[in-house]
Structure 1
Amino acid sequence: MTEPAGVSLTESILLTARSGPAGRSGPPAPAERVLPLRRPGRWVATVLVLVLASQAAHGLLTNPFYQWDRFAYWVTRPVILDGLFVTLQVAAYSAVLGLLGGILLALGRLSGSPVLRTVSWTYIWLLRSVPMIVVLLFLYNLSALYPTLSLGVPFGPALVTFDESKLATDMAVAVVGLSLVEAAYAAEVVRAGLLSVDQGQHEAAAALGLPRRYQFARIVFPQALRSIVPSYVNQLIGLVKATSLVFYVSLLDLFGSVQSLGATYPGDVVPLLLVATAWYVVLTSVVSVVQFYVERYYARGALRTMPPTPLQRARAGLRELRARFLKETAR
């Protein structure tokens, strides 16, 4: 085959492919179109998953052992809702205090002071090594070790004295214990987010002569939140579930209420556990929805096109279905 003058071998191959056999131009005939790759394994896996999922759903709904009528009775009872409110309180307070503590610890680990770095690292190492239930039980029995707490001159006289037994209420013990442990994990999440910010951002902010506090609050931290939010939301989900441990410090949260009712009504143990499971799923689902919108908010300067919200996806799907329906009707 001879090449046209001024046409390379690659260009001639492309011209031949476009024109088709015998130099015919125009779109390819139906028989010449590329067929999609067949994937029988994907179809087999899809059918298998659907069968297993339908069997699991059928067994869950029809098995009398679950006692769905008792589940419907207990799910909105006042005692359950009171425990749910306590769970929300403990989770909200611990999340805020844990994040604030995590920010301070992360800044301490990134500080130029060797004392702050050492103390922050030691705190994180120790609190991540000790089980949360041990921390809660230790704080619950702290009054035996320190009956009174005082503020005053170091190694000198006390100026103000507090009765620890009056301060250490069940709610206070639960919130402080969860916050102390949460701060250790949040510190590493925040530190990783701060380190993910490009060093040029720090240098540009310093070159503008901005105060260090302004650099952190308005330039570095907002960019670090893009990396912090997904990881910290996972921590929040774990925190919501970890609130079930406050039952062991005599605080009746959602799980504690279910445990108490299960001891009073032994025949309703399974539906009561399903009630607790359902409410924990609702709480974690709400946290996941909030995560989506927070991530979307802080991604405004990083993405050219914002990811669609679930409502926008639903509208787009309805428009597509309507277009297909009108097209089929026109035929």
Structure 2
Amino acid sequence: MKAIPVRHYGRWIGAAAVVALLALLVAAFANADVSWTVVGDYLTHETILTGAWNTLQITIYSMLLGVVLGTVLAIMRLSSNPVLSGVAWGYIWFFRGTPVLVQLFLWYNLALIFPVVNLGFWSEDMNTVMTPFLAALLGLGLNEAAYMAEISRAGIQSVDRGQTEAAHALGMSPSRTMRRIVLPQAMRVIIPPTGNEFINMLKTSSLAYAIQYQELFLAGRNISSRTLAVMEMLIVVSIVYLLLTTVFSIGQYYLERHFARGSDNAPRPESPLTRLRAQLTAFRVRTTVGREKV
């Protein structure tokens, strides 16, 4: 019997409607009062590149602080010591319950409460110490630690308790068991949401413009205030953010692929480039077959 596939006319109608809407959207922006030459010129402008570099710096440092502190908080939260678990719970409750922008302003205006930093052997004015970079690092990093604590706790709890009991039976200490047995296996669960948190942090760092940290959004805003090219600079900033998130999304994919090895007997997923080549090859084959039939 010759099987004849069922024709799905609704799919083609839906696809045609989506393509038409996309074409209208592209045409609207193409014919809008936007100077695209200005957009192209400022994509590689020194101020924009400096802002992008500052955004990357604050994102990486804040995520490092969040991951390290979040892992410590997750271990404290799982501790049988009520003081440690209570402190970890209170930290997570406070930093997840208040907006990031409020936390940034709290750190930036800390001199209103503590005018001077006095450690006994060293003293300095708080306004000198609390620079926009440090305020952004503390505001973003400490907030991220609260979310990473929950992610790390979920990853640790995903490891079977038999693994811990077997390690203890072999004489391994609890700290060594956590480092050598539990955390490496928990990484398969921790890495995917951590990658999402990193990409989210990359965009959330734009809030640091409110405390005058010279990141990407503030760089574009400073240029637009001088040139009055407001929409053009917003488009430039959006394109740079899209490029950064795309690069790190690809990196996240390969990192997940690395930690997922050995998790089961199924083959590892194909890379995006491999899937793209397969789609292009399949399209060429379908086109060739269609021409031969004609």
TM-score by length of 2: 0.91
What's the offset of the Cα at 1:162? 4.2
Letter in 2 for 1:191: R
2:70 to 69, 79, 102: 102
1:55 to 24, 44, 53: 24
* CA displacement 1:81-113 (0-9 Å, x = unmatched): 111111111111101111111111111101111
- Name the CA distance, whole Å, in 2 between partners of 1:203 and 1:178: 37
2:2 to 14, 33, 52: 33
What's the offset of the Cα at 1:234? 1.5
Pairing 1:227-246 to 2, within 5 Å after superposition: 227-246=189-208
Pairing 1:93-172 to 2, within 5 Å after superposition: 93-151=61-119, 158-172=120-134
2:12 to 31, 43, 52: 43
Is the counterpart of residue 302 in structure 1 residue 263 in structure 2? yes
- Name the CA distance, whole Å, in 2 between partners of 1:318 and 1:37: 24
- Name the CA distance, whole Å, in 2 between partners of 1:39 and 1:121: 53
- Please name the residue that 1:252 is paired with: 214
Change (3 A) 1:125 1:328: closer
- How many percent of aligned residue pairs carry the same amino acid? 37
What's the offset of the Cα at 1:318? 6.2
What's the offset of the Cα at 1:242? 1.1
State the secondary structure of the residue aligned to 1:240.
helix
- Name the CA distance, whole Å, in 2 between partners of 1:277 and 1:315: 28
State the secondary structure of the residue aligned to 1:65.
coil
State the secondary structure of the residue aligned to 1:66.
coil
Letter in 1 for 2:155: G
- Name the CA distance, whole Å, in 1 between partners of 2:70 and 2:112: 29
Letter in 2 for 1:118: G
2:160 to 188, 198, 204: 198
- Name the CA distance, whole Å, in 2 between partners of 1:278 and 1:325: 34
What's the offset of the Cα at 1:294? 0.5
- Please name the residue that 2:233 is paired with: 272
1:217 to 154, 174, 179: 179
- Please name the residue that 1:64 is paired with: 32
* Greater Cα shift, 301-310 or 177-186: 301-310
Letter in 2 for 1:271: E
Letter in 2 for 1:111: S
* CA displacement 1:35-93 (0-9 Å, x = unmatched): 32332222221221122122222323x22322211101211111111111111111111
Higher relative contact order (CA 8 A, sep 6+): 2
Moved over 6 A (4+): 321-331
- Name the CA distance, whole Å, in 1 between partners of 2:201 and 2:104: 14
Pairing 1:12-23 to 2, within 5 Å after superposition: none
Change (3 A) 1:140 1:318: closer
- Name the CA distance, whole Å, in 2 between partners of 1:326 and 1:127: 59
1:179 to 132, 136, 141: 141
- Name the CA distance, whole Å, in 2 between partners of 1:113 and 1:52: 58
Is the counterpart of residue 283 in structure 1 residue 283 in structure 2? no
- Please name the residue that 1:28 is paired with: none
What's the offset of the Cα at 1:195? 1.3
- Name the CA distance, whole Å, in 1 between partners of 2:48 and 2:286: 47
- Name the CA distance, whole Å, in 1 between partners of 2:290 and 2:8: 28
State the secondary structure of the residue aligned to 2:33.
helix
What's the offset of the Cα at 1:218? 2.3
